[in-house]
Amino acid sequence: MLSRTADNLYWMGRYIERSENNARILDVAHRMSLLPSLTGEHRTEWQSAITISGGETHFAEHYGTPNETNAVYYMTLDRDNSSSIYSCLRAARENCRAIRHAVPTEVWEAVNTTWFEIRDMTQNRLLSRGAQQFYDWVKERSSLFRGVTVGTMLQDDSFHFARLGTFLERGDNTARILDVKFHVLLPMGEQIGGALDYYQWTALLRSVSALRNYRHVFGSEVVPSRVAQLLILMEAMPRSLHHCQAEIVTHLDALGVAYGQRHECHRMAGEAHAKLRFGKIEHIFDVGLHEYLTDYIERNANLGVQIAKDFLLTREPVIAEPASQGQTPGMQTQTMGGMSQTQSG
């Protein structure tokens, strides 16, 4: 396999996952905005949605103060936002198109069909169909992608790269949601037990499909430290940091065996995994949840950079090309842009 192919597989996985994460972030913001607010307005929900997605600065420059309309547009259909659902699905499709011959038809068709549907989506259609419905559709398409990936791809190095992209992106996203939401919710911790508070925490759990799991493990009382424990340390929880890190280690190990060599990224992933595996939630709160999560997000980003160094194509700047045979410049650079966006957030 070529490094470029590995790169395309990895970014395809990341972008599909990122589109789903956007839908989840918006979904929870939407649910929270339906609640009576203490201040009578819901700016914080939409502000935090933008913050989680890492687009704060870019958004402020183009839209100013977030409200439901501009925040939803920015994170779903805005073509100028390289992390909008539209841009993610487009980037996923371009990455997949470049390696069509290297993935099963089902994977290509899942990604390609998704792209054609979002390509024709307008804000009016999105709203008339119902934003929630749209988020469900994005999650479904992402689930379909995961399904055909696991169900049809040869589980060789190409599979490992696609899965690495998925879990690096997901770990990053769960950490961001937790960080921002705890920041918003914890000051209200003094009123724990109120109906509003309860709804806020359940909405957070819902956003990562963890509400049922939480009740199953901890019962119906929602306690912030247990929410953190579930989403950080519990390996069995598919969107927890521990789970994501364990998957990353598994796939990196498999690559190490396939290629007969281990790299710096193996050490970094193992170290992060050990911290989660042997971590205690009390210690995390002692350090400070925000500090802990910020540290995780940074290490996760560094791991992404290291994986790119160890396995993927080191891209050189793409210069304008001669017209007669050329490719469109710019298409190849977007993947790195996507990552730096994540890092800057």
Partner 1 sequence: MTKPPAFDEMTLPDGSVRSVYDNVDKWLREAATDRLDLKRREADTIFRRLGITFSVYTEGGDPERLIPFDIIPRVFGADEWARLSAGCVQRVQGINAFIRDIYHDQEILRAGVVPSEQVLKNDQFRPEMRGIDVPRDIYAHIVGIDMVRTGENEFYVLEDNARTPSGVAYMLENREVMMRLFPELFAGQRIAPVDTYATELLRTLSSVAPSGASNPTIAVLTPGIFNSAYFEHAFLAEGMGVELVEGQDLFVDDKKVYMRTPAGPKRVDVLYRRIDDSFLDPQAFRPDSVLGVPGLMSAYRAGNINVANAVGTGISDDKSIYTYMPEIIRFYLGEEPILNNVPTFSCRNDEDCKYVLAHLDELVVKEVHGSGGYGMLIGPTATQDQREEFAKRIKATPHVYIAQPTLALSTCPTFVDSGVAPRHVDLRPFVLSGDQVRMVPGGLTRVALPEGSLVVNSSQGGGTKDTWVLEG
Residue ranges that bind partner 1, judged by CB under 8 A: 1-4, 6, 97-98, 100-101, 157, 161, 255, 258-261, 311-313, 315-316, 318-319, 321-322, 324-328, 331-332
CB of 24 to partner 1, least distance (A): 31
Q: Can you read off the two tokens belonging to residue 342? A: 């994540």
User: How far apart (Å, rounded) are the C-alpha atoms in residues 250 and 135?
Assistant: 30
Q: How far apart are CA 268 and CA 326, in angstroms?
A: 39
Query: Cβ of residue 13: shortest distance to partner 1, in angstroms?
Result: 15
Residue 339 Cα distances to 13, 156, 189, 260, 274, angstroms? 13, 25, 34, 28, 25
Q: Per the structure block, which two tokens stand in for 170? A: 């997901």
Instruction: Using the minimum distance from each CB to partner 1, give the nearer residue, 50 or 255.
Output: 255
Among 226, 198, 200, 224, which residue's Cα sits nearest to residue 213? Answer: 226
Residues, the chain, total? 345
Query: Measured from the CB atom, is 128 or 325 closer to partner 1?
Result: 325
By C-alpha distance, which of 244, 264, 266, 246 is closest to 255? 266
Identify the DSSP state of 190.
G
Residue placing its CB nearer to partner 1 in the complex, 98 or 168: 98
Nearer to partner 1, 188 or 254 (CB): 254
Least gap, CB of 12 to partner 1 (angstroms): 14
From the CB of 284, what's the least distance to partner 1, in Å? 34
Question: Measured from the CB atom, is 236 or 258 closer to partner 1?
Answer: 258
Angle between helices 68-76 and 3-33 (to 10 degrees): 160
Nearest approach, Cβ of residue 201 and partner 1 (Å): 42
Quote the CA–CA distance of 71 and 298 in Å, as a whole number: 25
Pair 179, 290: CB distance under 8 Å? yes
Compare residues 187 and 260 and give the one whose CB is closer to partner 1: 260
Q: Which residues of 252-266 are buried (b: 16+ CB within 10 A; e: fewer)?
A: bebbeeeeeeebebb
24/251 with CB nearer partner 1: 251
> Measured from the CB of residue 325, what is the shortest distance to partner 1 in angstroms?
4
Q: Tell me the closest approach of the beta carbon of residue 266 to partner 1, in angstroms.
A: 13
Looking at the Cβ atoms of 125 and 315, the one nearer to partner 1 is: 315
Q: Minimum distance from CB of 164 to partner 1 (Å)? A: 11
Angle between helices 264-277 and 289-311 (to 10 degrees): 150
Burial class (CB in 10 A: 0-12, 13-18, 19+), 220: exposed
